[in-house]
Amino acid sequence: MKRALLIPLMLAAGLATGGGAAFGVATVTGPREAPEKEAAPMPTFVATGPILVPLVDSDGGLAGYGTIEVQLEVAADAKEDVASRLPLLLNAINLRTYRAPLASGPDRLLPDLAAFRQLVFVAAVETYGKGTVSRVAITSAKPA
């Protein structure tokens, strides 16, 4: 019976001693401050200018054309690189638009903006690499 009481009593005494020591060290040294994180550079936008987009039906027929303006959100230090390779991005977009069914609306003359945004993002990843372009913002869309 002695042994059955001695083991839990020693366990409780050890926990109390360890907890008291931790409290004493925290009181003497004070609270620890979180390390400061390095501030990430502010994102900036790069405008692509107007892009003439063929509006293709789901059956592959040309329904018309649309003009869409896009801006790419990139880190500030990558802005020059993205702007210098913009013709490659426009080429990648053009190689995809004629295959993607972007025509929507009742008369099939309105562009499907969600599909076009995804198309531009995939083309941007192919052109600049993963992680360079964080978002694609469509700033203007008009039927041509």
92 contacts: CB under 8 Å, gap ≥ 6: 123, 124, 126, 127
What's the number of CA atoms in the CB half-sphere (13 Å) around residue 41? 11
Nearest residue to 56 via CA among 6, 106, 112 = 112
Per-residue pLDDT tens for 99-123?
888 888 777 778 888 999 999 999 9
Sheet with 43-56, strands from edge to edge, namely 43-56, 62-75, 133-143
- Tell me the β-bridge partners of 138: 70
Structure confidence at residue 111 (pLDDT): 84
pTM above 0.85, yes or no: no
Token pair of 25 as six digits: 């060290």
